């Protein structure tokens, strides 16, 4: 498969944040205005279920949707989307950009991950968002995600590893490779790429330790 996922453009207003809740997300969205869908999202598209009948509705969840670029791309492909973000500014930006013909297929929630009841979904996308889950809530949040993905449905998302410059920041979750592999015990991985390298953020040099995952849930026996 084409691997086009290696560039992560990550900007936070203040690199010296000590806990996730201090991040100025509106500044992040502003810096990335007009961005393209994330490479990981684009790479997941060929693995997504396709509509089998006129009546079938394909349902996606965009967790930590931010400005909603990926939600808009799914709506444009005819999907029904639940877009969730804890930042009200994110949902306001998304709502302001949705074409009127797509609004009936979009539901939005301003909520933290741990408060969500997720619908059964053909695709759950979590682009650079799950690392901002509180560590003591991560297992429960992941259990809900893994349950929500329908058999043959797809999960695509990023996890941060322990070598990342931000490891240890309060309010953030980090996984080892073994941890990530354990999360996907009921899935078949199409991609599990471990990025462990120095790189840039607009706020300055940073070490990126990121797992990029695309996986399909196994059909139940």
Ligand X SMILES: C[S@@+](CC[C@H](N)C(=O)[O-])C[C@H]1O[C@@H](n2cnc3c(N)ncnc32)[C@H](O)[C@@H]1O
157 binds ligand X (CB under 6 A): no
Of 92 and 152, which has the nearer Cβ to ligand X? 92
Q: Identify the residue among 81, 90, 148, 215 touching ligand X (CB under 6 A).
A: 90
Of 58 and 65, which has the nearer Cβ to ligand X? 65
174 binds ligand X (CB under 6 A): no
Of 74 and 133, which has the nearer Cβ to ligand X? 133
Of 35 and 218, which has the nearer Cβ to ligand X? 35
Q: Identify the residue among 5, 38, 94, 155 touching ligand X (CB under 6 A).
A: 38
SS3 per residue for the chain: CCCCCCCCCCCCCCCCCCEHHHCCHHHHHHHCCCCCCCHHHHHHHHHCCCCCCCCCCCEEEEECCCCCHHHHHHHHCCCEEEEEECCHHHHHHHHHHCCHHHHHHEEEEECCHHHCCCCCEEEEEECCCHHHCCHHHHHHHHHHHHHHEEEEEEEEEEEECCCCCCCCCECCCCCCHHHHHHHCCCEEEEEEEEEEEEEEECCEEEEEEEEEEEEEECCCC
List, in sequence order, every residue forming a beta bridge with 196; answer none if it has no partner: 209
Residues 5-34 that bind ligand X (CB under 6 A): 25
Q: How far is the CB of 220 from ligand X (least distance, A)?
A: 29
Smallest Cα–Cα separation from 28: which of 81, 69, 59? Answer: 69
208 binds ligand X (CB under 6 A): no
Residues in the chain: 221
Q: How far is the CB of 109 from ligand X (least distance, A)?
A: 9
Smallest Cα–Cα separation from 65: which of 103, 111, 23? Answer: 111
112 binds ligand X (CB under 6 A): yes
Of 113 and 155, which has the nearer Cβ to ligand X? 113
Q: How far is the CB of 128 from ligand X (least distance, A)?
A: 4
132 binds ligand X (CB under 6 A): yes
Residues 40-69 that bind ligand X (CB under 6 A): 64-66
113 binds ligand X (CB under 6 A): yes
Could you give the angle at the alpha carbon of 54 between the alpha carbons of 59 and 106, nearest 5°?
30
Of 93 and 217, which has the nearer Cβ to ligand X? 93
Of 49 and 171, which has the nearer Cβ to ligand X? 171
Chain residues binding ligand X by CB under 6 A are 25, 38, 64-66, 85-87, 90, 112-113, 127-129, 132-133
């Amino acid at each position: 498969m084409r691997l086009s996922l290696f560039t992560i453009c990550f900007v936070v207003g203040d690199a010296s944040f000590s806990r996730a809740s201090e991040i100025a997300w509106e500044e992040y969205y502003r810096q990335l205005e007009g961005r393209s869908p994330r490479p990981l999202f684009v790479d997941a598209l060929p693995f997504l279920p396709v509509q089998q009948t006129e009546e079938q509705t394909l349902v996606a969840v965009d967790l930590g949707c931010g400005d909603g670029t990926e939600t808009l791309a799914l709506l444009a492909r005819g999907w029904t989307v639940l877009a969730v973000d804890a930042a009200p500014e994110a949902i306001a930006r998304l709502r302001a950009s949705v074409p009127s013909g797509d609004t009936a297929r979009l539901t939005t929630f301003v909520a933290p991950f741990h408060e969500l009841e997720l619908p059964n979904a053909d695709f759950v996308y979590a682009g650079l968002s799950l690392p901002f889950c509180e560590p003591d809530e991560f297992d429960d949040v992941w259990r809900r995600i893994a349950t929500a993905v329908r058999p043959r449905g797809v999960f695509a998302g990023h996890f941060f590893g322990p070598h990342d410059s931000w490891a240890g920041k309060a309010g953030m979750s980090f996984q080892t490779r073994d941890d990530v592999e354990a999360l996907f015990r009921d899935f078949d991985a199409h991609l599990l790429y471990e990025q462990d390298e120095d790189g840039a953020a607009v706020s300055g040099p940073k070490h990126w330790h990121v797992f990029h995952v695309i996986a399909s849930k196994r059909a139940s026996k």
